[in-house]
A and B are shown apart, each in its own frame.
Chain A
Amino acid sequence: MNALSPGHGPLADLFVTGIGPSAKNAPPPVPFSTDSQITWRQRWDHWQARWGYRRGDHRVPPGLYALGEPDHSSPVLVTANYTLSFDAVRAALAGHSCYLLVLDTKGVNVWCAAGKGTFGTDELVERVFSTGLHQIVDHRDLILPQLGATGVSAQLVRRHSGFRVIFGPVRAADIPAFLPQRKATPGMRRVTFTLVERLVLIPVEIVNTMLPMIVAGLVLYLLAGPVAALGVVAAVLTGTALFPLLLPWMPFHDFSANGFLLGGIVALACVWGLWPGAMPLDWVLALRMVGLLLGLPPVTAYLAMNFTGATPITSPSWVRREMKRYIPLMAVSAILGMVGVLWSAIAGWLGR
């Protein structure tokens, strides 16, 4: 936790000494009001967020929200101000009356924001006092999503605000089952990476690689024809869409190795598409095939390697090791592949 130092910010110190902005007699601000309805407009917003459209704009105003008709003894649940996070929590709480304390995570989900420190000890302590939560409820319990624990030290929150942090389940959908006893089953405490959870990540992966994919497709079309152009498009989509789907059934541990495997299959399909059917093979065509066999697999491998950053199973040490192991191989393979394709293109033009 290099970048994080939970609880050591100036605001935390301010509240310890008791000279915070919330003077004792001032009435607490009125909480925002919300409900558990997800409108079509909000579903449209979620859809856009999944496709990475206006990435930073999927936010709700941070602060305290009243859901249902909460009173001074109602539970307080803490979440991020990303619309997907906030809406998941309030939708899960249909029929409940509670407070939602929304931290300013700059429109980023709980886990990523906790890693960055924006879903953190300082922001939580500050938000408790700036919303007047300590005057609105007479208990001192805050229910946090478990994945917020990366950024929030329960101990320091207690020390700086008097509030006890209770880490709830990983998933918002489990909150109703958690609330009565405030107990999470082992299953509620584990992150999963199900087919659906992998599926929802694919749109943004595709969008982020769309432009380079189109450019590479056009360049290869000019250099090596339609089959090669299709090949590079397939290699990119295999890395961004097929690999995340197939992840649990991939044979190798390292994502990059699996990417090389899938990219190799794409390249072989490409060679098959170019096969003239008659021997001997024209050397210009053979060179093009070799170029594609070397050039396409590292494309898929690179994208698969990048997917490590989007999974809940890979560690930073793992990512660094993969980069050290595979980037040199990818670079050599890609460069040789490009030389092969270019050479065959030039030879083809000169021969004509």
Chain B
Amino acid sequence: MATQLQAINTLQYDSHRCIGCGMCATVCPHGVFAVESKRARLVRYETCMECGACQVNCPTQAITVDSGVGCAEAYIRGILTGSEPRCDNSCCGEGSNGRGCC
């Protein structure tokens, strides 16, 4: 089943820096974090899709994750044109009238 995920992600969490504010648990759309006895814990690590919301909103930089473009098409275009893969150069940018994924 496609939704049974293996851990394929770059999420790293340093629990020693956690102050238990719970922002990571609030912003994560996959319930990766849960706050238990005033400290965040990774409870569904394997479902992380590297959106980066937790990293952006962690006040103590306890979380790092390499988030970025998630479209294969953007990578392929990046390779073909020799540039960095960018979302707005491919399917969902403002300059892409008539095409779009999001």
Interface residues of A (CB under 8 A from B): 1-4, 6, 52-57, 106-109, 111-112, 114-116, 146-147, 149-155, 167, 170, 184, 186, 189-191, 193, 201, 204, 208, 247-253, 255, 258, 305-306, 308-310, 312-323
Contact = CB atoms under 8 A, between A and B. Distances in A.
Nearest to A55: B100
B18 interface: no
B5 interface: yes
Contacts of B68: 1-3, 316
Contacts of A252: 2
Nearest to B97: A56
A150 B75 CA distance: 21
Closest 4 A/B residue pairs (Cβ):
A309-B71, A149-B27, A149-B53, A55-B100
A4 B56 contact: yes
Contact of B1 (A3, A249, A310): A249
B46 to A, nearest CB: 10
Given A54-B98, A150-B67, A317 B75 contact: no
Contacts of A313: 2-3, 5, 30, 47, 49
11 contacts: A54-B97, A54-B98, A55-B99, A108-B94, A149-B27, A193-B3, A204-B100, A251-B1, A308-B71, A310-B101, A318-B8
Contact of A316 (B3, B50, B56, B95): B50
Contacts of B42: none
Interface residues of B, number: 53
Contact of B75 (A54, A191, A320): A320
Contact of A317 (B1, B66, B71, B76): B66
Most chain B CB inside 10 Å of its own CB: which residue of A147, A184, A315, A320: A315
Q: Is the interface of A mostly helix, strand, loop or mixed?
A: helix
Contacts, number: 168
Contacts of A154: 23, 57
B48 interface: yes
Contacts of B51: 111, 115, 150
A308 B72 contact: yes
A155 B24 CA distance: 13
A309 B1 contact: no
Most chain B CB inside 10 Å of its own CB: which residue of A115, A152, A250, A258: A115
Given A150-B51, A315-B50, A208 B70 contact: no
Contact of A112 (B9, B67, B102): B102
Given A55-B97, A154-B57, A167 B66 contact: no
Contacts of A57: 97
A323 B100 contact: no
B4 interface: yes
A255 B2 contact: yes
B83 interface: no
B82 to A, nearest CB: 17
Contacts of B66: 2, 316-317
A258 B1 CA distance: 10
A155 B29 contact: no
B3 A315 contact: no
A1 B67 CA distance: 5
A306 B23 contact: no
A116 B87 contact: yes
B56 A309 contact: no
Given A52-B100, A155-B57, A306-B73, 6 more contacts: A56-B100, A108-B102, A146-B29, A147-B53, A306-B72, A310-B101
Contacts of B92: 55, 108, 112
